[in-house]
Amino acid sequence: MGLIIRSSTIHAAGCYTTAPIAKGTRVVEYTGPLIDKDEADVRYEGRPITYLFGIGDGTRVIDGHGTAMFINHSCDANCETEEIDEHVWITAIRDIAAGEELCYDYCLYDGDEENAPCNCGAQACRGSMFSPEELQQRERLARKAAGKRLSVKTKKKSHRKKQSKEAQAQQKPAGKFGKTLVKAKKKPASTSRQNKTAGGKKKQVIERPAGKSQKKIQA
Ligand SMILES: [Zn+2]
Protein backbone atom coordinates (compact mmCIF):
# COMPACT_ATOMS: atom_id res chain seq x y z
CA MET A 1 0.00 0.00 0.00
CA GLY A 2 1.23 3.46 -0.70
CA LEU A 3 1.32 6.20 1.86
CA ILE A 4 2.04 9.79 1.01
CA ILE A 5 2.54 12.90 3.08
CA ARG A 6 0.79 16.03 1.94
CA SER A 7 -0.97 19.04 3.34
CA SER A 8 -3.96 18.31 5.49
CA THR A 9 -7.04 20.22 6.54
CA ILE A 10 -6.68 18.81 10.03
CA HIS A 11 -3.19 20.04 10.64
CA ALA A 12 -0.16 20.99 8.60
CA ALA A 13 0.90 17.80 6.85
CA GLY A 14 -0.98 14.53 7.02
CA CYS A 15 -0.57 10.96 5.86
CA TYR A 16 -2.79 9.66 3.06
CA THR A 17 -3.21 6.27 1.52
CA THR A 18 -3.10 5.88 -2.24
CA ALA A 19 -4.75 2.47 -2.10
CA PRO A 20 -7.71 1.02 -0.23
CA ILE A 21 -6.90 -0.47 3.18
CA ALA A 22 -8.97 -3.22 4.71
CA LYS A 23 -10.13 -3.03 8.31
CA GLY A 24 -7.65 -4.71 10.62
CA THR A 25 -4.62 -4.06 8.44
CA ARG A 26 -1.43 -3.00 10.16
CA VAL A 27 -0.72 0.05 8.09
CA VAL A 28 2.57 1.42 9.30
CA GLU A 29 4.85 1.19 12.29
CA TYR A 30 5.52 4.19 14.49
CA THR A 31 9.25 4.12 14.21
CA GLY A 32 12.00 6.05 15.92
CA PRO A 33 14.56 5.69 18.68
CA LEU A 34 13.29 4.42 22.02
CA ILE A 35 14.34 6.79 24.78
CA ASP A 36 13.51 7.44 28.44
CA LYS A 37 10.65 9.85 29.01
CA ASP A 38 12.90 11.85 31.31
CA GLU A 39 15.39 12.23 28.54
CA ALA A 40 12.63 13.34 26.19
CA ASP A 41 11.53 15.94 28.71
CA VAL A 42 15.01 17.40 28.70
CA ARG A 43 15.48 17.13 24.98
CA TYR A 44 12.16 18.74 24.09
CA GLU A 45 11.48 21.07 26.97
CA GLY A 46 9.70 24.14 25.70
CA ARG A 47 9.27 22.71 22.23
CA PRO A 48 5.66 22.96 21.14
CA ILE A 49 5.97 20.08 18.78
CA THR A 50 7.27 16.68 19.51
CA TYR A 51 6.50 13.24 18.20
CA LEU A 52 6.77 11.15 21.29
CA PHE A 53 4.78 8.01 21.73
CA GLY A 54 4.68 6.44 25.19
CA ILE A 55 5.01 2.73 25.47
CA GLY A 56 4.86 0.23 28.30
CA ASP A 57 4.27 2.02 31.59
CA GLY A 58 5.08 5.35 30.00
CA THR A 59 8.62 5.63 31.28
CA ARG A 60 9.92 5.15 27.77
CA VAL A 61 8.85 6.80 24.57
CA ILE A 62 9.42 6.40 20.89
CA ASP A 63 10.89 9.58 19.49
CA GLY A 64 8.99 9.50 16.23
CA HIS A 65 11.04 9.60 13.09
CA GLY A 66 9.31 8.31 10.01
CA THR A 67 6.09 8.25 8.06
CA ALA A 68 3.81 7.47 11.00
CA MET A 69 4.73 10.59 12.88
CA PHE A 70 2.85 12.61 10.27
CA ILE A 71 -0.45 10.89 10.92
CA ASN A 72 -2.85 13.40 12.40
CA HIS A 73 -5.21 13.13 15.31
CA SER A 74 -8.94 12.75 14.90
CA CYS A 75 -11.67 12.22 17.48
CA ASP A 76 -13.40 10.05 14.89
CA ALA A 77 -10.43 8.14 13.58
CA ASN A 78 -10.06 5.43 10.96
CA CYS A 79 -7.04 3.90 12.70
CA GLU A 80 -5.90 3.03 16.18
CA THR A 81 -2.56 2.15 17.67
CA GLU A 82 -1.37 -1.19 18.95
CA GLU A 83 1.67 -1.88 21.02
CA ILE A 84 3.37 -5.19 20.37
CA ASP A 85 6.69 -6.02 21.99
CA GLU A 86 7.72 -2.41 22.29
CA HIS A 87 6.69 -1.68 18.75
CA VAL A 88 3.75 0.53 17.96
CA TRP A 89 1.61 -0.09 14.92
CA ILE A 90 -1.05 2.04 13.31
CA THR A 91 -3.91 -0.31 12.46
CA ALA A 92 -7.03 0.35 10.40
CA ILE A 93 -10.22 0.09 12.45
CA ARG A 94 -12.44 0.29 9.40
CA ASP A 95 -12.08 -0.06 5.67
CA ILE A 96 -10.30 2.99 4.34
CA ALA A 97 -10.69 4.19 0.77
CA ALA A 98 -7.86 5.27 -1.49
CA GLY A 99 -7.17 8.96 -1.00
CA GLU A 100 -8.35 9.14 2.60
CA GLU A 101 -6.24 10.70 5.27
CA LEU A 102 -5.17 8.31 8.01
CA CYS A 103 -5.79 9.41 11.56
CA TYR A 104 -6.06 8.05 15.06
CA ASP A 105 -6.86 9.38 18.50
CA TYR A 106 -3.73 10.81 20.09
CA CYS A 107 -5.05 10.62 23.64
CA LEU A 108 -2.44 13.13 24.70
CA TYR A 109 -1.32 13.25 28.29
CA ASP A 110 1.45 14.35 30.54
CA GLY A 111 2.26 17.72 29.09
CA ASP A 112 2.57 21.13 30.64
CA GLU A 113 0.38 22.58 27.97
CA GLU A 114 -2.84 24.11 29.16
CA ASN A 115 -4.78 22.76 26.27
CA ALA A 116 -4.37 20.90 23.07
CA PRO A 117 -7.17 22.12 20.84
CA CYS A 118 -8.47 19.73 18.22
CA ASN A 119 -9.28 20.71 14.66
CA CYS A 120 -10.42 17.32 13.44
CA GLY A 121 -13.84 18.58 12.41
CA ALA A 122 -15.60 15.37 13.44
CA GLN A 123 -19.17 15.65 14.62
CA ALA A 124 -18.18 14.04 17.86
CA CYS A 125 -15.07 16.14 18.30
CA ARG A 126 -14.30 16.55 21.99
CA GLY A 127 -12.46 19.79 21.29
CA SER A 128 -9.11 18.61 22.54
CA MET A 129 -6.46 16.10 21.65
CA PHE A 130 -6.05 15.25 25.32
CA SER A 131 -7.42 11.85 26.23
CA PRO A 132 -10.85 11.82 27.88
CA GLU A 133 -9.11 10.66 31.08
CA GLU A 134 -6.66 13.53 30.94
CA LEU A 135 -9.50 16.00 30.43
CA GLN A 136 -11.42 14.56 33.37
CA GLN A 137 -8.38 14.68 35.55
CA ARG A 138 -7.68 18.27 34.66
CA GLU A 139 -11.26 19.22 35.33
CA ARG A 140 -11.17 17.46 38.68
CA LEU A 141 -8.02 19.24 39.69
CA ALA A 142 -9.41 22.58 38.63
CA ARG A 143 -12.61 21.99 40.59
CA LYS A 144 -10.73 20.87 43.66
CA ALA A 145 -8.47 23.85 43.53
CA ALA A 146 -11.45 26.19 43.18
CA GLY A 147 -13.30 24.47 46.02
CA LYS A 148 -10.33 24.65 48.32
CA ARG A 149 -9.77 28.27 47.59
CA LEU A 150 -13.33 28.97 48.63
CA SER A 151 -13.21 26.96 51.80
CA VAL A 152 -9.89 28.39 52.80
CA LYS A 153 -11.51 31.73 53.33
CA THR A 154 -13.88 30.38 55.92
CA LYS A 155 -11.38 28.33 57.88
CA LYS A 156 -9.41 29.22 60.92
CA LYS A 157 -5.86 30.30 60.59
CA SER A 158 -4.26 27.02 61.38
CA HIS A 159 -6.28 25.33 58.73
CA ARG A 160 -5.80 28.02 56.31
CA LYS A 161 -2.15 27.45 55.80
CA LYS A 162 -2.47 23.81 55.26
CA GLN A 163 -5.36 24.06 52.92
CA SER A 164 -3.97 26.75 50.79
CA LYS A 165 -0.92 24.66 50.32
CA GLU A 166 -3.05 21.83 49.17
CA ALA A 167 -4.93 24.12 46.90
CA GLN A 168 -1.71 25.27 45.38
CA ALA A 169 -0.63 21.77 44.79
CA GLN A 170 -3.90 21.00 43.12
CA GLN A 171 -3.66 23.91 40.81
CA LYS A 172 -0.70 22.49 39.05
CA PRO A 173 -1.70 20.63 36.00
CA ALA A 174 -0.81 16.99 36.02
CA GLY A 175 2.87 16.63 35.78
CA LYS A 176 5.74 18.82 36.70
CA PHE A 177 7.32 21.64 34.92
CA GLY A 178 9.29 20.82 31.87
CA LYS A 179 7.11 17.95 30.78
CA THR A 180 6.62 17.22 27.20
CA LEU A 181 3.26 16.18 25.95
CA VAL A 182 2.84 12.55 25.21
CA LYS A 183 0.48 10.56 23.07
CA ALA A 184 -1.16 7.56 24.53
CA LYS A 185 -2.92 4.55 23.28
CA LYS A 186 -6.64 4.79 23.53
CA LYS A 187 -7.90 2.75 26.39
CA PRO A 188 -11.24 1.75 27.75
CA ALA A 189 -12.91 4.47 29.76
CA SER A 190 -12.72 3.97 33.51
CA THR A 191 -9.04 3.69 34.07
CA SER A 192 -7.85 6.30 36.41
CA ARG A 193 -4.35 7.38 36.24
CA GLN A 194 -2.13 8.54 39.01
CA ASN A 195 0.31 11.24 38.39
CA LYS A 196 2.14 11.55 35.17
CA THR A 197 2.24 8.58 32.92
CA ALA A 198 2.17 5.80 35.41
CA GLY A 199 -1.45 4.73 35.27
CA GLY A 200 -2.20 2.73 32.21
CA LYS A 201 0.08 0.22 30.88
CA LYS A 202 -0.19 0.86 27.24
CA LYS A 203 0.33 4.47 26.69
CA GLN A 204 1.47 5.74 23.50
CA VAL A 205 2.96 9.04 23.39
CA ILE A 206 2.86 11.06 20.42
CA GLU A 207 3.06 14.63 20.66
CA ARG A 208 2.37 16.98 18.02
CA PRO A 209 0.80 20.20 19.01
CA ALA A 210 -0.25 22.64 16.39
CA GLY A 211 2.57 24.11 14.48
CA LYS A 212 4.64 23.04 11.67
CA SER A 213 7.89 21.70 12.80
CA GLN A 214 7.16 18.51 11.02
CA LYS A 215 9.12 19.73 8.11
CA LYS A 216 11.92 20.73 10.33
CA ILE A 217 12.16 17.34 11.80
CA GLN A 218 11.99 15.64 8.51
CA ALA A 219 14.53 17.84 6.92
ZN1 LIG B 1 -11.54 16.39 17.46
Cα–ligand 1 centroid distance for 169 (angstroms):
30
Cα–ligand 1 centroid distance for 8 (angstroms):
14
Q: Which residue has the higher pLDDT, 206 or 77?
A: 77
In-domain check, residue 104: yes
Q: How wide is the angle at C-alpha 36 spanned by C-alphas 35 and 37, nearest 5°?
A: 115
Which pLDDT band holds residue 197 (cuts at 50, 70, 90)? very low
Cα–ligand 1 centroid distance for 49 (angstroms):
18
pLDDT of 45 over the 60 cut: yes
In-domain check, residue 178: no
pLDDT at 193: 34
In-domain check, residue 116: yes
- Residues 43-66, mean pLDDT to the nearest whole number: 91
Nearest to 110 by CA among 172, 68, 168: 172
Q: Helix 132-154 vs helix 157-171: angle between axes, to the nearest 10 degrees?
A: 160
In-domain check, residue 22: yes
Q: Identify the weakest region by mean pLDDT among 34-38, 63-67, 185-189.
A: 185-189
183, 205 Cβ separation under 8 angstroms: yes
Cα–ligand 1 centroid distance for 74 (angstroms):
5
In-domain check, residue 167: no
Cα–ligand 1 centroid distance for 103 (angstroms):
11
pLDDT of 1 over the 80 cut: no
Q: What is the pLDDT of residues 122-144, one digit of tens each?
A: 999 999 999 999 999 999 998 99
pLDDT at 152: 63
CA distance 147 to 1: 54
Cα–ligand 1 centroid distance for 167 (angstroms):
31
In-domain check, residue 172: no
Cα–ligand 1 centroid distance for 109 (angstroms):
15
pLDDT at 165: 46
CA distance 61 to 212: 21
**Owning domain of residue 50:** 3-130
Considering only the C-alpha atoms of the chain, give the largest distance between any 2 of them, rounded to a whole number of Å. Answer: 69
Q: Which residue has the higher pLDDT, 152 or 23?
A: 23
CATH assignment of the domain containing 23 = 2.170.270.10
In-domain check, residue 189: no
CA distance 9 to 72: 10
Average pLDDT of the chain to the nearest whole number: 79
- Residues 185-196, mean pLDDT to the nearest whole number: 47
Cα–ligand 1 centroid distance for 95 (angstroms):
20
In-domain check, residue 66: yes
Q: What is the pLDDT of residues 83-99, one digit of tens each?
A: 999 899 999 999 999 99
CA distance 139 to 117: 15
Based on the structure, what is the number of domains in the chain? 1
pLDDT of 115 over the 70 cut: yes
Q: Identify the weakest region by mean pLDDT among 37-46, 72-81, 159-168, 179-188.
A: 159-168
pLDDT of 179 over the 50 cut: yes
CA distance 186 to 191: 11
